[in-house]
Amino acid sequence: SDKDREAVNVSGPNAVDISGLEYPETVVFVGGFDPLQDRQRSYYEWLKKSGKQARLIEYPDMMHAFYVFPELPQSSQLIAQDREAVNVSGPNAVDISGLEYPETVVFVGGFDPLQDRQRSYYEWLKKSGKQARLIEYPDMMHAFYVFPELPQSSQLIAQVKDFVSHKCKTSDSY
């Protein structure tokens, strides 16, 4: 539903399939010390139940293996930064200007190694005529919100709640 799509889109660009591409297999990586490992395993199970080809790779000694991406033809391309499945807003980005796309909020941590990619995604949304908000946490690292002892974690969760609540109140489809 639109409600689900808007809520999920808070977490990343893959909530709406804009690529139109089909990949033979999705690889899900799970870190053994990752606080989100149950969610990653659930995602893998959902892929399998949905009839999609998926492979689960576990790294028991790793803290956070958060990447989930389609397997690319050559192993050397697994980090190919210009593939539209890996970098939806990169040089090979699909034109979404004519598509319905939910309002999006993008959170960026100042010490996040992906902060340039996140800002690029935000700028791409804006250039495509989509409603987007950028909220920055200059002193935070990637996925800081999974650490409840950080006050910024609670702040981000409250901002997500406010964003989703506002979208639920202002949408005609609810």
Of the ranges 32-46, 55-69, 104-118, which is most confident? 104-118
In a domain, 34, yes or no: no
Q: Does residue 107 lie in a domain region? A: yes
Q: How far apart are CA 90 and CA 73, in angstroms?
A: 19
Question: How many structural domains are present in the chain?
Answer: 1
Mean of pLDDT values over 40-65: 77
The Cα–Cα gap between 58 and 51 comes to: 21
Range of the domain at 162: 2-19+88-170
Q: Pull the structure tokens for residue 154.
A: 């609670």
Is residue 132 in some structural domain? yes
> Among 13-17, 45-49, 54-58, 134-138, which range has the highest average pLDDT?
134-138
67 located within any domain: no
The model scores a pTM over 0.75: no
